[in-house]
Amino acid sequence: MRVLVVGGGLMGSAVAYELSRLHIEALVFDRHDGGRATSAGAGILSGETSGVSDTPYHELSRLAYAYYAELADALGADSIAYGVSGLALVALAGDEERFQETRQALRGRSAAVSDMEPDELRRQFPALGAVTGALFDARAARVDGRFLETRLRAAAVAQGARFERREVLALDAGDAGVTGVYTSAGPVAADAVVVAAGAWSTRLLEAVGSTVPVVPHRGQIVHVEHPPAQGPVWPILEGFRGHYVLPWPDGHVVAGATRESGSGYAPWFTAEGQAEVLAELFRVAPGLRPAVIREWRVGLRPASADGRPLIGAMRNVPGLYVLTGHGPGGLLLGPYSARLVAAEISGSALASDLAPFRPDRPYQPDPANAGI
Ligand SMILES: Cc1cc2nc3c(=O)[nH]c(=O)nc-3n(C[C@H](O)[C@H](O)[C@H](O)COP(=O)(O)OP(=O)(O)OC[C@H]3O[C@@H](n4cnc5c(N)ncnc54)[C@H](O)[C@@H]3O)c2cc1C
């Protein structure tokens, strides 16, 4: 069986890895667009402190988190910069009401999250600002999305998968379903096609009558250097304005990110976006004001209308599978979602119920999921 994968970001690389593990031939075509989300992703692996109250999403997040330990063992934890460093959700002046609401909600939902005294957090994160309250998830981890994609691709190739820099122009679909794709270098036949083209997935699917509500959400994010911390890696910080600060063992810190719906396919930096990211970094961690800017990155998150990812078969078109719409949680969810798609293609038993994530589900925008 030959499976053709459109898109070689994290989703495409992960599904090629999982398919080739199952001895299924995988061929990945990637156009490598500017603004691909995987190249900009921060790397936080935690679903526990999100303000979102969507039960299927949380269940998927927990399974995806658990799968990382296995994946890190298989790929080599250091090679993907995987590590557990904990995450503190912090309140500053003006955040008190939201802090108390979130504290209540998380207590009912997650045993992993506990209160932390601001002084204790300051001991662990000396650059911290005037924090009035903190909730701590000791299990939260990090991964470098670029390293992860590279390692998955290398492991997939070692297992027999192939990757090519090539554009897929259209799916080849008829009464029998999808039988291949048309590419910039001619048609290619396949037994099944996985559309894992990130924020660019919709046009290919629309052309075969499968409209999915996935749009680009731009994220601008900064990497700064500060003198390497002595001792353990500082924990991750999350504020109440959708931003975060993610320290790495080499002493550099990632701070982000903007969440720009309506950005379109425009992967560029804006003065407003950069000012927003730096203002929030300085509010939460003023001790990082003198840090040296290493790099800005920008990516287009594939965001779905109801906040849930799109995983599995498009049931009205035989042979067509979708793996996109992971929005701001794709680094966490992606490897596990890819595993589910590969299992479905191979006909194996599925470890999770895909019903809430089917690409052909009815989409009901839910304000409770606005933070996803
Ligand atoms: C600023 C930012 C911070 C983030 N932080 C986190 C985080 O901390 N934790 C977390 O879990 N997630 C995070 N994410 C989300 C995560 O990065 C994404 O959900 C994930 O990387 C999406 O991967 P993807 O493979 O679906 O899309 P992409 O990485 O965008 O890859 C899609 C690929 O498909 C290719 N393609 C498109 N059309 C075609 C075509 N017709 N033919 C061939 N190739 C095509 C593109 O060129 C691209 O290479 C963040 C994202 C951003 C932008």
Return d(Cα 120, Cα 322) in angstroms, integer: 45
Domain annotation covers residue 53:
no
Cα of 38 to ligand 1 centre, how many Å? Answer: 4
Same domain for 8 and 133, yes or no, is no
- 96: domain CATH number? 3.30.9.10
Contacts of 72 (CB under 8 A, 6+ apart): 80, 82, 143
Domain annotation covers residue 47:
no
Is residue 167 predicted with pLDDT exceeding 50? yes
Same domain for 125 and 229, yes or no, is yes
Cα of 217 to ligand 1 centre, how many Å? Answer: 11
Same domain for 296 and 224, yes or no, is yes
DSSP-derived pairing of the beta strands 214-225 and 292-304: antiparallel
Same domain for 352 and 313, yes or no, is yes
Helix (H, G, I), strand (E, B) or coil at 353: coil
- 160: domain CATH number? 3.50.50.60
pLDDT at res. 76: 97
pLDDT at res. 228: 66
Return d(Cα 184, Cα 196) in angstroms, integer: 18
- Which atom belonging to ligand 1 lies closest to the Cα atom of 32? 47
Structure-token pair, residue 281: 């970094």
- Which atom belonging to ligand 1 lies closest to the Cα atom of 166? 43
Q: Whose CA is nearest to atom 52 of ligand 1?
A: 41
Domain annotation covers residue 61:
no
Same domain for 339 and 199, yes or no, is yes
Domain annotation covers residue 48:
no
Which one of 252, 280, 300 terminates a domain? 300
Which one of 279, 300, 321 terminates a domain? 300
Pocket of ligand 1, candidates 4, 6, 17, 30: which has the most ligand atoms within 8 Å of its Cβ, to mutate? Answer: 30
- Which atom belonging to ligand 1 lies closest to the Cα atom of 244? 8
Residue 26 is which amino acid? Answer: A
Structural domain including 293 reads 84-139+218-300
Cα of 267 to ligand 1 centre, how many Å? Answer: 12
Which one of 244, 267, 300 terminates a domain? 300
Same domain for 151 and 195, yes or no, is yes
Same domain for 130 and 242, yes or no, is yes
For ligand 1, which residues put their CB under 6 angstroms from it?
Answer: 6-12, 29-33, 36-38, 40-44, 145, 167-168, 196-200, 204, 219, 221, 256-257, 299, 301-302, 324, 326-332, 334
pLDDT at res. 372: 44
Same domain for 224 and 296, yes or no, is yes
Domain annotation covers residue 92:
yes
Return d(Cα 193, Cα 372) in angstroms, integer: 27
Cα of 115 to ligand 1 centre, how many Å? Answer: 33
Structure-token pair, residue 330: 């794709």
Return d(Cα 309, Cα 11) in angstroms, integer: 11
Cα of 112 to ligand 1 centre, how many Å? Answer: 28
Other CB atoms within 10 Å distance of the CB of residue 207: 12
Same domain for 157 and 294, yes or no, is no
* Tally of domains within the chain: 2
Domain annotation covers residue 70:
no
Same domain for 20 and 119, yes or no, is no
Is residue 368 predicted with pLDDT exceeding 60? no
Pocket of ligand 1, candidates 13, 28, 29, 31: which has the most ligand atoms within 8 Å of its Cβ, to mutate? Answer: 31
What is the pTM for the complete model shown?
0.96
pLDDT at res. 108: 73
At 52, the pLDDT band (50, 70, 90 cuts) reads low
pLDDT at res. 367: 60
Asked if 239 and 87 count as a contact pair (C-beta separation under 8 A), the reply is: no
Helix extents (H) in the chain: 10-21, 55-75, 96-109, 118-124, 145-158, 201-206, 271-284, 330-346
Residue 213, phi then psi, degrees to nearest 5: -85, 75
- Which atom belonging to ligand 1 lies closest to the Cα atom of 323? 26
Domain annotation covers residue 118:
yes
Mean pLDDT of the chain: 93
Same domain for 222 and 295, yes or no, is yes
Residue written as token pair 């409770």: 368
Same domain for 222 and 282, yes or no, is yes
Considering only 157-171, 239-253, 287-301, 326-340, which range has the smallest mean pLDDT? Answer: 239-253
pLDDT at res. 229: 63
Domain annotation covers residue 79:
no
Q: Whose CA is nearest to atom 31 of ligand 1?
A: 9
Cα of 187 to ligand 1 centre, how many Å? Answer: 25
Residue that wins the pLDDT comparison between 371 and 56: 56
Is residue 369 predicted with pLDDT exceeding 60? no
Which residue, 325, 20, 319, 311, is CA-closest to 171? 319
Is residue 50 predicted with pLDDT exceeding 80? no
